[in-house]
Amino acid sequence: MKPTFAIVTLGCKTNQFESAAMSEKLIVAGYLPCNFEEGADLVLINTCTVTSNTDAQSRNLIRRAKRFNPLSRVVVTGCYAQVDAKSLAEMPGVSLVLGNQEKGELLAYLAQSNAEGTFAVAAIRGENVEVALEVASEAKRSRAFLQIQNGCDAFCSYCIIPYARGRSRSVEPIAVLKQVDSLVAAGHQELVLTGIHIGQYGKDLTPQINLLSLVQQIEPRLKDCRLRLGSLEPTELPVELRAHTTGSAKICPHYHIPLQSGSDRVLAAMNRHYSTSFFAEMLHDIHQRQPQAGIGIDLIVGFPGETDAEFDETCRFVASLPVSYLHVFPYSRRPGTLAAGLGGQIPGNIARLRAERMRQIGEDKHRQFAREFVGQALEVIPEAGDHSGKMRAVAGNYLSILLPFDENLIGQRRLARVCRQGTQGLEGVIV
């Protein structure tokens, strides 16, 4: 009987991509995928360490895996494993801990030892070359992630990721284009360029290129597939890139850009190298060029030293921006970061209240943006159905639309007319 495996993924789209790649390797090696709750023979937990809460989630998943199947082999990898391998390896039931660079050699490490407490974690800040994991089919999903870059050199004062992912490293263009061809041939209707800092793409390569150049090489190979850009830092969206993306019929009209704060003093304390005026000018330029574009931003509230007045300033600033959704995070003190040692740590209950207020602003913004498309036709890709007889479809600008369920349409690009804005969001029909 073939051994079974389950993968649980926490955190970012880069982790999701790497989990898909490891899943493919295991299937080729003869493993059968199953659900985590079924008690697989092998459980792989791909961790995140952005906050202490995600660390706690990872530890809880390890304990749950052993409850579902006391005989399961538990392997822990990802960013938490990278920065604190020893404590994870000492947890009862953990067989193997692998760093982020070791993910690509998963099968080799599985073959070496079955003893508990083994770990292999390289000093990732010393890595200079990125060899991306490859995904051939992305589990037959309509949307496929394509990793073009890894690592980060920004060292924002609240963030542990440069230590967990290493320095910025780009995948060679020829390898990226090979993956594009493979995923398009597999029938995917959307490719998402992902990485930790994709706006830094190509700066470490010889000869140097940039994200715009890579995108221009990808577009002719897409055929009927559309391209979506992952998160881009504010300083990594120059006018030339904005002009191209807003004018391209192949690139989804969707931008996710971390803001983090609407106070210039707080931005400086976060080690974010831009001002609110710079950010606002850039977003208004995108909106003027492409009014239908969805624009999402990340925000951290309750950063050490953030006053009530500075939080109010952030609220007013965000309310003035042409954004369609927010990702809001109450600040979480992360050991090993500069911000963890700052004075003026905000009590958790205050940070949570600020997050609730900011999320309400985000909900209002999203409803206002979505309302503008009632009566219009949007290109969508239906992704999944539910028990209510509806299926969720995602438009190019990242709006979610509920449609009457039709299994034959899942994964296919179609035009949908938005009929109304209901209590659960936009509702429409296939044209």
- Tens digits of residue pLDDT in 303-313: 999 999 999 99
Query: Between helices 211-218 and 173-185, what is the axis angle to 10°?
Result: 40
Listed residue (66, 139, 127) closest to 100, CA to CA? 127
Closest CA to 20 of 183, 117, 134: 134
CB 328 within 8 A of CB 301: yes
pLDDT at 132 exceeding the cut of 80 = no
Residue 249 burial (CB < 10 Å; 0-12/13-18/19+)?
exposed
Domain identity same for 106 and 165: no
Supply the CATH number for residue 185's domain. Answer: 3.30.750.210
The strand pairing partners of 92, in sequence order, are none
Would you say 393 and 124 are in contact if contact means Cβ atoms under 8 Å apart? no
Residue 138 is predicted with a pLDDT of 52
In this prediction, residue 123 carries a pLDDT of: 83
Per-residue confidence band for 340, with pLDDT thresholds at 50, 70 and 90: very high
| Confidence (pTM) | 0.91
Judgement on whether residues 366 and 306 belong to the same structural domain of the protein:
yes
Task: Reply yes or no on whether the pLDDT at 405 is more than 80.
Answer: yes
Last residue of a domain, one of 327, 345, 372: 372
Is 259 a domain residue? no
Average pLDDT over residues 142-170: 93
Chain CA centroid to CA 322, Å? 22
Q: What is the mean pLDDT of residues 366-378?
A: 97
Residue range(s) defining the domain that contains residue 225 = 126-252
The pLDDT assigned to 350 comes to 97
Question: Does residue 273 belong to any structural domain of this protein?
Answer: yes
pLDDT of 194 > 60? The answer is: yes
* The last residue of a domain, from among 61, 89, 122: 122
**How distant, in Å, are the alpha carbons of 62, 125, 362 from that of 229?**
33, 26, 21
Q: What is the pLDDT of residue 126?
A: 76
Q: What is the count of structural domains for the chain? A: 4
pLDDT of residue 131: 66
